[in-house]
A and B are shown apart, each in its own frame.
Chain A
Amino acid sequence: MDQLTIAGKTYTSRLLVGTGKYKDFAQTRAAIEASGTQIVTVAIRRTNIGQNPNEPNLLDAILPSQYTILPNTAGCYNAEDAVRTLRLARELLDGHSLVKLEVLGDPHTLYPNMVETLAAARTLVKEGFEVMVYTSDDPIIARQLEEIGCVAVMPLASLIGSGMGILNPWNLQIIIDTAGVPVLVDAGVGTASDAAIAMELGCDGVLMNTAIAAAKDPVLMASAMRKAVEAGREAFLAGRMPKKSYSAAPSSPTSGLIAPAKGKAA
């Protein structure tokens, strides 16, 4: 059976989903379930201290016993903060070491700062974390992150939350062709076809959040994304037909045609 393997663990779903931007925990949960995902990302933030002791907790709605919880470093702009955040996350999640690293360079575009990301990755790998790293689609940096010991590289399709889809399939293809670890598209997926295209190119998985949460019907979009990732993966494994520019090849026989009407050549 076709399965995704990350850091020695196998998953049947190749779709990873974020838990942000939903209306409430009920919608989060419904969308997560409809997506069929097994890995969900969470952010790490200060708790309110004493103002609202009954405030519901995300991990009471999305259970660590049911899903692989992947803490991220969203909002971190330097390596030190990202590392501190993931140390806290590992403590929070009872020692689980599979994490998502992202270090941002700009609050407007949310484009990753790859210099700080490389530095954070080195420290985290040394400390025994299994790092799935959000990266630009620079194939050289993707290779360096793999050489550092990251367990997966996650190049952006386009800007976080932009829904622009895959802007540079060529770079993505180079990364896929040269990577020895799983490659997952992370950021910028907008609709189902974007996810299918990523899988058709040969990605091992797709991570998305806004594409589902900001859809008019997030639960329905989650279902669409599930199918899109599956369809794209099957198309990839099936081996697509070659593209032919400037010529056509009929699908129906060219012999046995009835005699053409008067004036038309056979």
Chain B
Amino acid sequence: MIALTINGERRSFEAPLTVADLIDRLQLADKRLALERNGQIVPRGTYLHERLADGDRLEIVVAVGGG
């Protein structure tokens, strides 16, 4: 099991887990989003290969209304 902090929330998942797996697991697959892992942008093209590790801090963001 690996423990991740996603948007400030602690969640645990079975390893191995790629970013693509996580996005599926969170039902975000059809959304236009961006992801930061431990302060670094994870490009969309690498989601299938990028493997998450225990303790990773993720920010997953979308565009919302704003001025």
Contacts and interface: CB of A to CB of B under 8 A. Distances in A.
Interface stretch (A5-13, A45-53, A193-201, A238-246): A45-53
A99 to B, nearest CB: 12
B36 interface: yes
A220 B67 CA distance: 19
Mostly, the A contact residues are mixed
A184 B26 CA distance: 40
Given A84-B39, A91-B43, A57 B32 contact: yes
Tier of interface size on chain B: 20 to 34
A202 interface: no
A41 B7 contact: no
A45 B64 contact: yes
Contact of A43 (B25, B28, B41, B66): B66
B41 A49 contact: no
B44 A58 contact: no
B66 A41 contact: yes
Contacts of B53: none
A92 B63 contact: yes
A19 B66 contact: yes
Given A88-B41, A91-B44, A58 B63 contact: yes
B62 to A, nearest CB: 4
B60 interface: yes
Given A59-B32, A88-B41, A92-B32, A43 B63 contact: yes
15 contacts: A41-B66, A43-B65, A44-B62, A45-B61, A47-B62, A50-B28, A53-B27, A88-B59, A89-B34, A91-B34, A91-B41, A91-B43, A160-B67, A208-B67, A210-B67
Interface of B: 6-9, 11, 25-28, 31-36, 39, 41, 43-44, 59-67
